[in-house]
Structure 1
Amino acid sequence: MFVALGFLLGLIALCLVTPFVDGAALAAFIPLLVAVGLLLVALRLPPLETARFGVLVTPVVLGALIPAIWILLQMAPAPAPLAHPVWASVKAGFPTPIWGSISVDIGATALALVRYLSLVGALLLTTALTINRDRAEVTLTALTAAATLISLAFIVIEAVGAPSSADLREEAQSCACLGVVLAAACACLIYERHETRRAKLGFSNAKFIYPMATALIAFFICVAAVVLAHSGSLIFAASCGLVMFVAVFSVRRLNLGRWGAGAIGITGAVIVLALVTGAAGSNSDPRLAFVKKDTATIELTQRILADTPFFGDGAGAFSSILPIYQFGDAEGQERRAVTAAAKLSIEMGRVILWGAVIAALLLAVDFIRAAGKRGRDSFYSAAAASCLVSLVILAFVNVSLFGPGLPLLAAIIVGLGLAQSQGRSA
């Protein structure tokens, strides 16, 4: 399984590189690495781990099928009432009748399906490999290192004033939000391993101090990158993830029980609701209410949202329909949606958007329950739940969830939390 783990670490390395390298060539390696890694896992995974893997991933696979089927339906020929209105005007230019589809760009939708299946494959690959505790430790360390290096690169770019695109900045900032949680999880890993191994093997303090110092440095680098963004929404997203992680860790360490956990959860929910209500702008649409951008850019997305059919315009088809809605100085307008929530709603429909939000929150709750049931190693599930909460908030802040690296990083984090959501006895 060492070779398969190398492919997983290669995917994490791509998460580090792709935000800073403009090119489709690197993104093409993702499905290749995922496919080869899954093949190696299928051939070499031990029988006991295979049985656990099947139990863990069955609900996730069933849920992941829904968006895949939805995208396939968007590409399929559709009758006139379901086909996108743009096909009615296209038909006039063809001598023979043609069938329309829900998607306005079938090629872009097909590529979006490949990318989505690659992310699901990365999640499955991570789950299979990190059922083993040693490989889980290596993966968590690699994820933290990747998020920290991205944050450090962002800090350097800001310090020297180097030119950078809005996409790069947003994705680096979002990775820093996840890095805050991952670094805290690494610190918990080091502390708990020191407790158990010192008692059993008599480890020296030096083997605890230096790794813990490294984890704390990584934590402060990620925090600095978030603060340097000068965005209250990003600080809120990182804070929600970190506070949730600390709360889960505290409930377990202090033996507060269900009543203590419930009190913390209710108090946190009330505080978050109050902060969200106060932070929302004048826009009543939650998909745009937390965005601080120029009015013209927001209005452009609003017009597209207003015209979006129930079934969406097609996954990956946003760039195809954008020129229709641009006017005046098109060069000065942002050629993308302002938030990931708005883009997902435009491409896949509002039902898929809110279904994805509910599914992510339910998965986070399941991870929290799993963390409460576990003794040591509970920080894996707690970190995955906290990162999911941060990602849901980030979906309404910027469009980084459609970037080249952050979705892959998120899929690996969720796979790691899923693999370690049950102990061996379970």
Structure 2
Amino acid sequence: MFVALGFLLGLVALSSVMPIVDGTMLPSFLPLLAAIGLVLVAVRLPPAEASRFGALVKPLVIGAAIPALWILFQMAPVPAGLAHPVWASVKAGFPSPVSGSITVDIGATAMALVSYLTLVGAILLATAVTINRDRAEIVLITLTGATTLLSIGLLATSIFGMAHPAAREELLDCACLGVILASACACFVYERHETRRAKLGYGDARFVYPLLASLAAFLISATAVAISRSGSVIFAACCGVGLFGAVFLVRRLSLGRWGAGAIGLTASVIVIALISGAAGTASDPRLAFVRKDPATVELTQRILADAPFFGDGAGAFSSILPIYQFGDDGAQERKAVTAAAKLSIEMGRTMLWAAVIVAGLAVVLFLRASAKRGRDSFYAATAASCIVSLIALAFINTGLFGPTLPVLSAVIIGLGLAQSQGRNAA
């Protein structure tokens, strides 16, 4: 299983360098690493871990099949009433009948399906590898190190300038996750010091230095978020780290259900008030928290208004973009202003809100699992906190559609899922 662990860490490392290293071939190695890792898991996973793995991922596999089937449905030939209107004009150029589909670009949608299955594979691989507590610790430390290095890269590019705003958005989102992961590492160091000092007689040096490293990682990531001067991004990071801190305090202070409920109610009121104030009079939540140039926002609004119920096709946003550009708009790089807007355009509004609801349910389940766990409760709490930040970030920028953030998020979810139950519970 240590070879499978190597492939998982390689997946994290490769995805982490893609925002910085300009390589068109690098993303093609992500499915390969995930596939080889899953093959090794199928061959090497011990029977006891295999049975536990099957019980953990069964609901995940069933739920993950729905978006995959939706994307396949978008690519399949459909009646003229369901096909995208663009196919009506395409048929005139062919001598024989052409079957239309929901997507406007079947090739782009097929590649989007590959990317989606890669993320599902990353979750499964991370879950299988991190069922073992020792391997889970290695993956948590690696994730924290990766997000810290990305935060350092963001700080460096903020000082010297960056030519790719999309990459900067993704680095900023990774820094938000880095704040949460660094907090989880500090919690991990503290709890392991409590348990292992009594059993194995560990000295203070093995506690102080890792704790200082965790605090340094926290400060680096928090500084990277702060220098963005984006209230929305800072809010997303605070939501995640605030939830993790609340879970830690409830457990350490033994506040129980009533204490947790009081904290949750107070935090919910504050969050709702802040969201309402930030949204102002905006009626569309997919664009309410965007502070970008009006031309790009107006372009996204036009595409959203014309998006059909089943969407324009996963990954097909760049294919329909030229239809809506005016004059010299083609001279500038235009894109969807938020991940929520892009998902709504490509997959349909129904799929967007279904994804938000499923993510919210995942947060509740991870928090419930964290409450039932003992010394390893911070894994599930980390996954829940990161999902909360990701939900907020989806309505702020397009980082969720970058090459790095989805992979790191998938590994974090797999880690939290693997450690959501103890061996006795399994």
Deviation per CA, 1:13-70, whole angstroms, max 9, x where unpaired? 0121011123331100100000000000000001111011011101111110110000
Partner residue, 2:149: 149
2: distance between equivalents of 1:243 and 1:288? Answer: 25
Aligned residue for 1:19, secondary structure, equals: coil
Q: How many residues align?
A: 425
- Report if aligned partners of 2:322, 2:330 keep a CA contact under 8 Å in 1: no
1:109 aligns with 2:109: yes
The Cα of 1:359 is off from its aligned counterpart by: 0.4
Aligned to 1:309: 308
Equivalent-residue separation in structure 2 for 1:357 and 1:90 (angstroms):
35
Tell me what 2:228 maps to.
229
Partner in structure 2 of residue 347 of structure 1: 346
2:84 is matched with 84
**Aligned to 2:14, what secondary structure does the other structure show?**
helix
On the 8 A contact 2:15/2:30 being kept in 1, the answer is no
| Aligned partner of residue 354 in structure 1, secondary structure | helix
Question: What CA distance in whole angstroms lies between the structure 1 residues aligned with 2:67 and 2:128?
Answer: 22
Contact 1:103 1:109 in 2 (8 A): yes
- The residue type paired with residue 272 of structure 2 is L
Alignment of 1:268-287 (within 5 A): 268-287=267-286
Q: Which segments of 5 or more consecutive residues in structure 1 lack a partner in the other structure?
A: none
Q: Which amino acid aligns with 2:107?
A: G
**SS of aligned partner of 2:283:** coil
Q: How does 1:10-49 map to 2 (within 5 A)?
A: 10-49=10-49
Q: 1:377 & 1:349 partners in 2: Cα distance? A: 38
Contact 2:15/2:407 (<8 A) preserved: yes
The reply to whether residue 265 of structure 1 matches residue 280 of structure 2 is: no
TM-score when normalising by structure 1: 0.99
Q: Distance in 2 between matches of 1:37 and 1:71?
A: 25
Contact map agreement 2:87 2:104 (CA 8 A) in 1: yes
Letter in 2 for 1:100: G
2:83 maps to a residue whose letter is A
Q: CA deviation at 1:370?
A: 0.3
- What secondary structure, in the 3-state scheme, does the structure 2 residue paired with 1:329 have? helix
C-alpha distance after superposition, 1:166-203 (max 9, x if no partner): 11110000000000000000000000000001011111
| Aligned-residue offset at 1:333 | 4.0
* Alpha-carbon distance in structure 1 between the residues aligned to 2:201 and 2:422: 25
Which segment is superposed worse, 378-387 or 261-270? 261-270
**Helix, strand or coil for the counterpart of 1:173?**
helix
Please give the per-residue CA displacement for 1:208-258, whole angstroms capped at 9, x wherever unaligned.
000000000000000000001110000000000000000011111111111
* Residue in structure 1 matched with residue 321 of structure 2 by the alignment: 322
Shift of 1:281: 4.0
Question: What is the distance in 2 between the residues matched to 1:281 and 1:298?
Answer: 16
Q: Determine if contact 1:108/1:316 at 8 Å carries over to the other structure.
A: yes
CA RMSD between the two structures: 0.8
- Provide the secondary structure at the position in 2 that maps to 1:102: coil
Q: How does 1:6-405 map to 2 (within 5 A)?
A: 6-159=6-159, 161-331=160-330, 333-405=332-404
User: Residues 337 and 399 of structure 1 are in contact (CA less than 8 Å); yes or no, is this contact kept in structure 2?
Assistant: yes
- Percent identical pairs in the alignment equals 69
Q: Per-residue CA shift, 1:351-376, capped at 9, x if unaligned?
A: 11000011011001100000000111
1: CA distance between counterparts of 2:393 and 2:23? Answer: 24
Task: Work out whether residues 304 and 325 of structure 1, in 8 Å CA contact, stay in contact via their aligned partners in 2.
Answer: yes
